[in-house]
């Protein structure tokens, strides 16, 4: 079993920054795929950023490219998401997710992940 816990959410004005963190515990190693997803009210959960394993390319959804940066520290089985130039459309609950190494085509698919954190709320005011 793997447990994930997110932290770092909050309320920030448009143009501001936040850094989210996710700490994993349990039976997880460097080969696990790790990712961030988000879900806004009334919308489906969407992929934000992720990579297949430590050292691999990190993929981002188009709307956050050049604004968000995902980092991965497998020493502590942790990932972070540095979010800059935040927009009101970024308002959502952000979730950390992981699964044994996924094929590339599955990295952006929420149903491919077995383990999820409870999420952390990010609110960007206009």
Q: What is the pLDDT, as a whole number, of residue 117?
A: 98
Q: What is the mean pLDDT of residues 75-102?
A: 94
In sequence order, what E strands does the chain have?
2-7, 10-13, 18-26, 33-39, 46-51, 59-60, 68-73, 78-83, 92-99, 115-116, 120-125
Mean pLDDT throughout 98-117? 96
Residues in the chain: 126
Nearest by Cα to 81 from 56, 60, 99: 60
95 — alpha (psi -120 to 50), left (phi > 0) or beta? beta
High-pLDDT (> 70) share of the chain, %: 98
Torsion of CA 1, 68, 46, 34, to 10 degrees: -20
Which residue from 8, 16, 17 is spatially nearest to 78, judged by alpha carbons?
8
Q: Give pLDDT tens digits for 31-78.
A: 899 999 999 999 999 999 999 988 889 999 999 999 999 999 867 689
Query: What is residue 74's predicted lDDT score, i.e. its pLDDT?
Result: 66
Q: Please name every residue paired with 21 in a beta bridge, in sequence order, or none if there are none.
A: 7, 80
Query: Has residue 106 got a pLDDT over 70?
Result: yes
Asked whether residue 28 carries a pLDDT value surpassing 90, the answer given is: no
Query: In whole numbers, what is the pLDDT of the chain averaged over residues?
Result: 95
CA 52 – CA 13 distance, rounded (Å): 32
């Amino acid at each position: 079993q793997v447990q994930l816990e997110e932290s770092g959410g909050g309320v920030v004005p448009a143009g501001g920054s936040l850094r989210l963190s996710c700490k994993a515990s349990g039976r997880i190693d460097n080969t696990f795929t790790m990712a961030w997803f988000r879900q806004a009210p009334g919308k489906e959960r969407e992929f934000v950023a992720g990579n297949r394993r430590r050292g691999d390319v990190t993929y981002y959804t188009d709307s956050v490219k050049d604004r968000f940066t995902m980092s991965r520290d497998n020493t502590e089985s942790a990932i972070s998401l540095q979010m800059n130039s935040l927009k009101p459309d970024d308002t959502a609950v952000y979730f950390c997710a992981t699964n044994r190494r996924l094929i590339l085509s599955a990295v952006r698919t929420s149903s491919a992940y077995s383990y999820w954190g409870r999420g952390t709320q990010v609110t960007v005011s206009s």
